[in-house]
Structure formats: structure tokens, C-alpha cells
Structure 1
Amino acid sequence: MDRFAGVLYDGLKASGYQVRLLKPPSILGRILPSATGLGKWLGYLDRFLLFCPLLKKAANWADVVHICDQANAVYAPYLNRKPLVLTCHDMNAIRSAFGEFTDHTTGPTGKVYQRWILSGLKQARHVACVSNSTYNDVLRLTGLNASKVSLLRNGFNYPYRRMSEVESLHYLKQLGLGGSQPFFLHVGGNYWYKNKEGLLLIFRQLIGFKEIQQHKLVLAGESLNHQLRLSAKKIGISDRLQEAPNVTNEQLCALYSSAEGLIFPSLAEGFGWPIIEAQACGCLVFTSNSPPMTEIGGNAAVYFDPLDEIFAARIIWKVVQDSKSLREQGYQNVMKFSTKKMISKYIDCYRLVMS
């Protein structure tokens, strides 16, 4: 959630507040950079052995401390009892640790870690939740009084807009895409809840329709892992996929502006930033028929059961044929997600916990 923290930092500075942005240093983790094995544990030493004393010292300076990601709630005991505001983006990892997702399990150490995070959440003076579904999960799983929890939706982390064809083409060429190649877009990592296996199946069904036979699927974000590559090969769509890892904001804006639509079949989310990013660029949004996707997309997105690829593909195909009014509704929907308004509401939260 570095981008969220960065937007908040810039907004507060622009509003005249003194702000310091802290994050765990990568010292031991640089010895063996890896998200698994020994590298993972060296990273933990950076976060919990080296960073905690630094954080405790820095907290003395602040009137309020804001933890910008619920995963960092484990730092709550190291803030010298300073008023704490915590932003919760989702409770999916905690829910998984409690066995709420039947198709995903959490290991023993993961369960301990998520209980540690939950304990930290309970120590916050105020928890801001980015969607109604996250708000309800926080109340249910923490047992916090409703007066200590609020709904505070995200604003944008970049001024997404619809690019002209000429401008878009400039950035698409950087990604190896020509202006004449039609494509659908997906934005996201390989986490289980992103449902990329389902995405591939939906796309396989989609290209069975005559009008969509020549389309590609552009995957912006984390590169496909080995299992997903095998799945794509098995269903015969490997040559129709184009990966675009590490895209810039401008390149992503061009992708949204040029895509036939965003396919976002998540099984769970905390907010779903790609939904409003796409709508701000005039891109059709096809996403799962469950919250928070239905909350964030509003009346300007098209919803389907993410586990029914045949029905999902048929819905997408039908809407693509006549979509002008839906694009206009998307522009209206994103007006609800103001970064300026978000900053103002967080300032209200800081005043609340200090009173």
C-alpha cells in the first residue's frame, strides 16, 4: 500500500501538516532478496527486530500515528501509546486464517501472524475502512465498538483520464502493442483471490464469439506464475496473452483508454482500485457480482458470477456490442472517489482521536 501512503503524505503536506513517512529499512533482506525461504525470514528480521526500535523513537515526535495498511497493525504496541489511526484495506488474510475461504488455506505460522495483526487492529483508537464489506468484516472480527470504526473510501492514487488515440498509441507501442490489435485488460497480481485461473477460462470462452475471435488479453501487473502458464497452454490461449509487468501510470492509463474492457473476476477484494481507474479512462468494467466490487463499480459496471465462465463470457460479449451509455455512467461513478475528500476525512479522524 505504498501508493496509498504516498498519496496521503502528499495530501497532508499540501494541507499544511508536518508529516513523516516511515517504512522498514531493507538491511538484512538485501543479503538474499526473496519472498520465500531464508530471504523471507531475513525480511522479517528487518521488519520486527530492526524497525521496531526506530519506530518507537520516531513516534515520540508525532501527535498522531497513522498505520496505512492493516498488515502493519503488528506495530501498534511500539507507538508509545500515541493516538493511532489505522486504515484497513481488507480482512481477507485474517478471514483465510480463520477458515472462511474453503478454497484457500493458511499455514500454521500464517495463522499466528494474522492473529497478531488482529490484536494490533484492536489497539487502534480509530479504524478507517475503505469499503462497506471491509467495514463489516472489521466490526465482526475485531469486536470493536462501531464508534471506533468508520467507512472512508479511497480516492485515486493517480489522475487517471481517457487518453486520446494518438497519445495512447505512443505508450502502447512501448509495451509492444499496436493500435489495431483489440484487447481486453486485466490488472492485478497472482494472489488466489484475484482468480486468474477463472480469468483465463472466461477469456477462452470469449474468443469463441465471432466478434471477439481476434482479441488479446493483456495482463498488467505481476507476471504469470508457472501454474498459470501451464493452465493457459492447456486451454490453448498462450499465444493470445500479452504480459505487461511493471507498467508506468501513463502506460496503464493508455491500456485502460484503449481496452475493449477490464475483466476483473476477483473472489474477494478490499476495495478494487482497477474498477474506478478503468471507469475514469472510459473503459468498460466487467467484474464479480459480490461486494465490494458491486459497491465500488455502482451502476456503471457489469457483474457476473466469477465461477461461471460461460455465463460471464456471454454477458461480456453482449455488453461490448452496445456500451456507450455505460461508459458515460462510469465517468459519473468515479466522481464519488475524490482524493481531496479522502484527505479531508482523514484529517477529521486525526482530530477525533486527539480529542
Structure 2
Amino acid sequence: MATFKDPAVAGNAAMRIAVDARNLIRARSGIARSIENAVVALSGRVREIHLCLPDELHVDFAHLSRLSNIHIHVIRRPSILGRVWWSSFDLPELLRKIQPCVFWGPAHKLSAAAAMVAPSVLTIHDLVWKFAPETMPLHRRLGDRIMTGRAIMHAAQIIAVSVRTAADLNATFPKTRGKTIVVPNIVRPLPVPESRASLAGLGIDRAFCLFVGTIEPRKNLPRAIRAYLSLPDGLRQRFRLVIAGGTGWKSEELQQLQVRYHEEMLWLGNVSEQRLATLYAHCSFVVMPSLYEGFGYPAIEAKQFGKLLLTSHDSPMADLAGPGTVLVDPLDEGSIAAGFEACMRRFGRVDPLGLQAHASCFQVDAVSSALMEVFMKTQACGFHSD
């Protein structure tokens, strides 16, 4: 078995990390946010970070190029087939030029050719294709299944972002047990929120509960809306349902519900981080009854603002979210409706300090140290092959 040793490297301050940053060529998403947050945190701990991309950085992440020790490497391959070529040929060639101490695949992807150049760390966020396949388009389901199965074979170390993800991964691929470690995503504080009055122009004129996320089947939003609409009139009229999130796959049902029940619910689409912080700050509670998640940023962001969370009892959020969480059966509209009612009756009687203390476990200092430990161990152990 080959090993990778660089006698000039001694400790974090001399470490050079290369990153498969292909997720940063599109607008900010959950996984892209996790990469962005980690890169910013690690930039203060290592000598160099090299972001390798098959296209230009999206404007959402342009600020990364302004960090002094971040180096951007772009070989443009805009087509789907071009990305396959980039992963198999361009990326390994870039790595040979960069000569990193560690190569990081932060989003399920790691080719054999890339893993042969430097010891590699792979992050697995979820196994939706295995445990909730009906919530994915067929081409993505098949692609993720193939790429994940191949990637884990080449990784020296594997990061799972939650205990649930680690359990799902180890159950599906037993050989990963000895090289899997749980390191949650970094959840950075959002900007300082604006006043409640700033929401009036959006049509938010009373107390509201908040859903945050891309509109797709996995988020279980239509079922949650029907549960909300089944509530007694008195409760529903006190709390409007506000939805913040862009259009994903199969959002037609939500569009129909929005037209029909526009007095009860409000869909804002994508919002800025400033607006998101303001929504969190002034909502009564946060709703996230997903069918499947690997991590779930809104679960922790809700707690950063001291808010109650309604979420699924069989998801990672049940373990991650900590105190101030109301658990429901995501397949049972009656259970979700009961969860809505419980939150509506409890929201003013929750001590936010305990919730915020729990959320601090996911901030930069706590998580970046664990992430660095994985990279240091990978560098020391060298290459791995199953």
C-alpha cells in the first residue's frame, strides 16, 4: 500500500488541503453551505486550501476567493459529460500540480484517480437514494447510488454528518464501519435580524410559523400544509404558515395549495440570509417534518434563535435538535396537526437560553477542531484501499 509523506509538513499550520468544490458553481444549497462554512473555518487553521472546480464560482461564494490562503483552480467543463471527464482526468491532474497533504471530497463524490494522488477524506451527508428513493428523480437516485458506492471504496476516512447518516452508511456498506466518524456540519450564526416591522411589506401581519427549505418531496411540505389546514379555525387564524425556500423537484402541489389558501399560507421563495435571520427571529416556531434528512440546517438555526422546532421522530433532527423539540410522525397528518397545536400552545413558554446553548455545539470552534482531527489522521495514515 502506497503512503503519502511530505517531510516539510508539520502540523495544521503547514497543511495544504485540496477540495472538490463542484457544488460551489451553483446557488447556495444545504451541501454547498456546509462546504462554504467549512472552508471559511479551515482557512484560519491551515496553510493553503485549494478549491477545484469544473466552472466559475457562483456569486454566492465569490467571497471565498478573497481569503488570502484560498486558491481557485477552474477547468471549465459545462456539460454533464464534461463533468465526468473533469472528475476522472482534470481533477487528478490538478491534484498532481497542487500536491495536497489531504484531498477532501465534501459531497459524496471521490474518483479512484483522484484518491490515488493524495490521501482522501469523503463526506457523506445522507443516503436518500437508499432510504427514501421515492423522493428523488430517477436519474439522481441511480447516479447517487453508483457514485456513493464507488467513492467509499477509495476514501481513507469517511465523515458522516450525523449519527443517523453514519448508521445508515454502515448498515448499507459494512466495510465503512472502521473508517467512519461523525462530524456535524458547521452552522454559522446568521446576520443580525431586522425589526419585525420589516416583514410587514411581505404580508406578514400576525404571528407565524416558519418552514425553511427547498420545495421537494423529501421535505414533506404538502402533508404538513394539510395538517395545518385541519387545525381549528381559532388556532389557524392566529398563526399564518410562512414558507421560505426555492422551487425544487415536484413543487406543483404546493403551488396549487398556495393559490387556494393564500390567506392562510405565504410562500416567499428564496430569501437572503438577512431576511432568513429576520424570519427566524420573529416567528413563533419552526416546522421541519421531513421524510428523510442527513442533517437539517433549520433544526439548528431554529435553536440559535431560541425557537421551538416541530420535526420528524425518525429523522436525524430528533437527535440533533436537542431541547425545545416537538416530535411527530411525518406520515401521519393527525400527528403533524397535533404537533402544530402543541407548538402553538407552548411557544411563549420556552426558555431560549437552553436552546441557544445547544445550538452552540455546532458553531465554528466546536466543529472545525473535529474536522481538523480527521484531516490530520488521514495525512498521517496515508492512502487506503479496500
Range into which the TM-score falls when normalised by the shorter chain: 0.7 to 0.9
Report the CA distance between 1:214 and its aligned residue: 4.2
Report the CA distance between 1:168 and its aligned residue: 3.0
Report the CA distance between 1:124 and its aligned residue: 0.6
Q: For residue 94 of structure 2, what is the aligned residue in structure 1?
A: 58
Name the CA distance, whole Å, in 2 between partners of 1:105 and 1:90. Answer: 13
CA, structure 1 residues 329+109, in 2 after alignment: closer, same or farther (shift >3 Å)?
closer
Give the alignment partner of residue 365 of structure 2, picking from 333, 340, 345: 340
1:29-74 superposed Cα distances (whole Å, 9 cap, x missing partner): xxxxxxxxxxxx964123212454331122122110011111x23x
The answer to whether the 8 Å contact 1:85/1:126 transfers is yes
Report the CA distance between 1:282 and its aligned residue: 2.0
Say yes or no: does 1:2 pair with 2:32.
Answer: yes
Q: Which shifted more, 145-154 or 219-228?
A: 219-228
The structure with the greater share of residues assigned to strand is: 2
Report the CA distance between 1:243 and its aligned residue: 1.9
Letter in 1 for 2:202: G
Give the alignment partner of residue 198 of structure 1, picking from 223, 232, 252: 223
Q: For residue 211 of structure 2, what is the aligned residue in structure 1?
A: 186
SS in 1 for 2:117: coil
Q: For residue 91 of structure 1, what is the aligned residue in structure 2?
A: 127
1:183-220 superposed Cα distances (whole Å, 9 cap, x missing partner): 111011122211112121122123x2413314322111
Give the alignment partner of residue 166 of structure 2, picking from 131, 135, 149: 135
SS in 1 for 2:168: helix
Q: For residue 376 of structure 2, what is the aligned residue in structure 1?
A: 351
Say yes or no: does 1:279 pair with 2:278.
Answer: no
Give the alignment partner of residue 269 of structure 1, picking from 280, 293, 312: 293
The RMSD of aligned alpha carbons is: 2.6
Report the CA distance between 1:269 and its aligned residue: 0.3
Name the CA distance, whole Å, in 1 between partners of 2:319 and 2:373. Answer: 24
CA, structure 1 residues 352+111, in 2 after alignment: closer, same or farther (shift >3 Å)?
same
Report the CA distance between 1:126 and its aligned residue: 0.4
Q: For residue 117 of structure 1, what is the aligned residue in structure 2?
A: 148
Name the CA distance, whole Å, in 1 between partners of 2:361 and 2:136. Answer: 35
The answer to whether the 8 Å contact 1:128/1:150 transfers is yes
Name the CA distance, whole Å, in 2 between partners of 1:327 and 1:270. Answer: 25
SS in 2 for 1:14: coil
SS in 2 for 1:298: coil
1:131-180 superposed Cα distances (whole Å, 9 cap, x missing partner): 11100111122222423110111221x313784xxx3336425x6144x4
Q: For residue 50 of structure 2, what is the aligned residue in structure 1?
A: 20
Structure 1, unmatched stretches of 5+, are 28-40
Q: For residue 356 of structure 2, what is the aligned residue in structure 1?
A: 331
Q: Which shifted more, 52-61 or 321-330?
A: 321-330
Q: For residue 78 of structure 1, what is the aligned residue in structure 2?
A: 114
Q: Map 1:194-233 to 2 at 5 A.
A: 194-206=219-231, 208-223=232-247, 225-232=251-258
Structure 2, unmatched stretches of 5+, are 1-30, 58-76, 381-386
Q: Which shifted more, 263-272 or 196-205?
A: 196-205
TM-score, normalisation: structure 2: 0.77
Q: For residue 284 of structure 2, what is the aligned residue in structure 1?
A: 260
Letter in 2 for 1:83: P
The answer to whether the 8 Å contact 2:228/2:236 transfers is no
Name the CA distance, whole Å, in 1 between partners of 2:329 and 2:32. Answer: 31
Say yes or no: does 1:168 pair with 2:206.
Answer: no
The answer to whether the 8 Å contact 1:131/1:271 transfers is yes
Letter in 1 for 2:199: L
TM-score, normalisation: structure 1: 0.83
1:88-110 superposed Cα distances (whole Å, 9 cap, x missing partner): 111112x0xxxx44755763784
Say yes or no: does 1:155 pair with 2:176.
Answer: no
Name the CA distance, whole Å, in 2 between partners of 1:186 and 1:107. Answer: 26
CA, structure 1 residues 256+348, in 2 after alignment: closer, same or farther (shift >3 Å)?
same
Q: Map 1:237-256 to 2 at 5 A.
A: 237-256=261-280
Name the CA distance, whole Å, in 1 between partners of 2:122 and 2:136. Answer: 26
CA, structure 1 residues 265+64, in 2 after alignment: closer, same or farther (shift >3 Å)?
same
SS in 2 for 1:185: strand
Q: For residue 11 of structure 1, what is the aligned residue in structure 2?
A: 41
CA, structure 1 residues 261+21, in 2 after alignment: closer, same or farther (shift >3 Å)?
same
The answer to whether the 8 Å contact 1:300/1:333 transfers is no
Name the CA distance, whole Å, in 1 between partners of 2:192 and 2:284. Answer: 13
Q: For residue 32 of structure 1, what is the aligned residue in structure 2?
A: none
The answer to whether the 8 Å contact 1:200/1:232 transfers is no
Name the CA distance, whole Å, in 2 between partners of 1:218 and 1:312. Answer: 16
The answer to whether the 8 Å contact 1:186/1:218 transfers is yes
Report the number of matched residues: 326
Q: For residue 10 of structure 2, what is the aligned residue in structure 1?
A: none
